[in-house]
Amino acid sequence: MQAKDIAALVEEVAVPEVSPEAQETAARISALLRHLFLYDRGNLIRVIEESGLSMTQSKALLELGGLGEETEARQVTDLAEALGVSVPSMSRAVDGLVRKRLATRVEDPADRRVRRIAITARGKKLVETLVVVRQAGMETFAASLTAAQRRKLDAAVDALMDRPDIAEAYELLKGVGPA
């Protein structure tokens, strides 16, 4: 990506007005996420690179694969909207997933003219690998914390468990990992 493309992307991002306190919280979360993303020497990035998937393909595959629960086949337009990419970009990404046999096009049961995208067994296996690698990195990081740091982090995260989106993801992921 060239500098002018990055500048255009930054201009596109809608930045809401936030308080200085929210900006500080965001900076702290960003620092933590950056650290977590690279903590295990970038193993998750390495697995994605070795899969040969683009970032859009990776996001689409993870969206199709869910968090361990059964997922329904999705239309390309739905995937594009969910991931914030254009329909043509998502269509190209899906074409690549189909070529790699990680996803397949299936007939919509309600409208035979419509094709949906479903994850294949091979795609599910790759998603499982990505989730396990990410979870292993998180567990290694958690093990590196002192007991006091872990208690404080647990209390902070616990305060967010009343959000249904976070609580649902936690319930699905708490049994995942190499442990």
CATH of the domain at 61: 1.10.10.10
How high is the pLDDT of residue 176? 65
Domain with 60 in it = 22-173
Rounded Cα distance between 102 and 126, Å, is 8
Taking residue 24's Cβ as centre, other Cβ atoms within 10 Å add up to 11
**Separation CA 39–CA 147 (nearest Å):** 19
Query: Count of domains in the chain?
Result: 1
pLDDT at 149: 96
Report the pLDDT value the prediction gives residue 14, as an integer from 0 to 100: 62
What's the pLDDT tens digit per position in 21-74? 999 988 998 998 888 888 788 888 889 899 999 999 999 999 999 776 678 899
Is 6 within a domain? no
- Within the chain, how many helices (H) and strands (E) appear? 9, 2
pLDDT digits (tens, 9 = 90+) for 129-174: 998 998 899 999 999 999 999 999 999 999 999 899 888 888 877 7
